[in-house]
Amino acid sequence: MKQIEKKVVILGSGPAGLTAAIYASRAQLEPLVIDGPQPGGQLTITTDVENYPGFAKGIMGPALMSEFREQAERFGTEIINVWIDRVDLSERPFTLYGKESADADEVTTIIKAESLIISTGASAKWLGVPGEEPVPVGLGGNGVSACATCDGFFFRDRPIVVVGGGDTAMEEAIFLTKFASSVTVVHRRDEFRASKIMQERVLNHEKITVLWNTEVKEIKGTKETGVESIVLYNNQTGETIDYPTQGVFIAIGHKPNTDLFRGMLDMDDVGYLITEGRTMATNVPGVFACGDAQDSYYRQAITAAGTGCMAAIDAERFMAEHPLAKAEEIAV
Ligand code: NDP
């Protein structure tokens, strides 16, 4: 059993977590970052990132996250890859129980944290249909996306499809009309869940067509061409058609990765962690939350990085005001 004691433990290594690590390590807090199942976060499953300031020519998502990682390590951040199975936030230092993987039986690492920054991110919900898997298996990242703000620009003058009937789908559809030649919203029922005002904008938009009672069954295309068409099933008529399109935006909701903290930290109905006022402080003193685990609204790499910075500054101030014994790593 390995036991680690740290002043600052950061759970999750996307833009929020690694920015928190850069700030905490430069403040000489020697943070420990725990990689999740997707080291580097959602950007590692995208291709070009063109809206992250400082990269005038754009940068590939995985390359951007390597830069974040290297920068965090340069100032003394330690990064480990364990699956955190359970946490105890009832007293400081907090305890995190780590296993080698999600399906491993045994706890192999116990981490004691004087303060904890949660940056576990959110995962886009996916349809689970053939063709949707990330490249190289499917067309995810090559015509299939869950982020119009990130990828809309690549679909200039092309026909695209948005799947979903909530506010995100409406917002993405409207945003995508700036680029696409046409936008088709595919929704599984005969009415939208979205707010009235957003629905009206979509229904009245000349570039947008809505296909009601329609489910996506498959996304077709090749590695070379990207998406070429999708198979649509009308659940009222039973008809199945092959519908030509070059882009598919899945907008059926996100799920914050916060189940670990259910019953311990305040969260909204969906599971987004609630922080106090302008700070990143949760309801447990010494525990901070940032990035997509805490922000249901902006969900951008740059905003996640911003809140990661804020969480580290909040943690640093908290540590100064509430010091515990010096942290050190002990191999047991
Ligand atoms: P929602 O949960 O509100 O909507 C998800 C949509 O996706 C629903 O229409 C749902 O269909 C559909 N859906 C879910 N699963 C599937 C599936 N497997 N196959 C096909 N369709 C599916 O998520 P949103 O991300 O849209 O919104 C989340 C929250 O954020 C909401 O509270 C929303 O109001 C808010 N928000 C607000 C914005 C704003 O105010 N500008 C912008 C974006 C989000 P069905 O309706 O049949 O269940």
The most confident of 100-104, 134-138, 209-213, by mean pLDDT: 209-213
Q: Give per-residue pLDDT as tens, 157-176.
A: 999 999 999 988 999 999 99
For this structure, is 48 an active site residue? Answer: no
- For 138-169, give one letter per residue: b (16+ CB within 10 A) or e: bbbbbbbbbbbebbbebbeebbbbbbbbbbbb
Mean pLDDT of 260-275: 97
Q: CB of 205 closer than 6 A to ligand 1?
A: no
Predicted TM-score (pTM) of this structure: 0.77
Higher pLDDT, residue 168 or 113? 113
Tell whether the model's pLDDT for residue 331 goes beyond 90. Answer: no
Does position 155 have pLDDT exceeding 50, yes or no? yes
Neighbouring residues of 74: CB distance < 8 A, sequence distance ≥ 6: none
Task: Kindly state whether residues 237 and 132 are assigned to the same domain.
Answer: yes
What's the rounded Cα separation, in Å, for the pair 270 and 282? 16
Residues 259 and 242 in one domain: no
**What gap in Å lies between CA 29 and CA 27, rounded to an integer?**
6
Per-residue pLDDT tens digits for 6-55: 999 999 999 999 999 999 999 999 999 999 888 888 787 666 788 899 99
Going by the DSSP 8-state scheme, the letter that residue 329 receives in this structure is: E
Select from 250, 281, 303 the last residue of a domain.
250
Are 212 and 278 contained in the same domain? no
Indicate if 94 and 51 belong to the same structural domain: yes
Q: Is 296 in the pocket of ligand 1 (CB under 6 A)?
A: yes
How far is Cα 193 from Cα 165, in angstroms, rounded to an integer? 6
pLDDT at 283 over 60: yes
Domain count, the chain: 2
User: 166 in ligand 1 pocket by Cβ < 6 Å?
Assistant: yes
Among candidate residues 150, 292, 295, 314, the one labeled active-site is: 150
Q: Which CATH number covers residue 169?
A: 3.50.50.60
3-state helix, strand, coil in the chain (%, to 5): 25, 30, 45
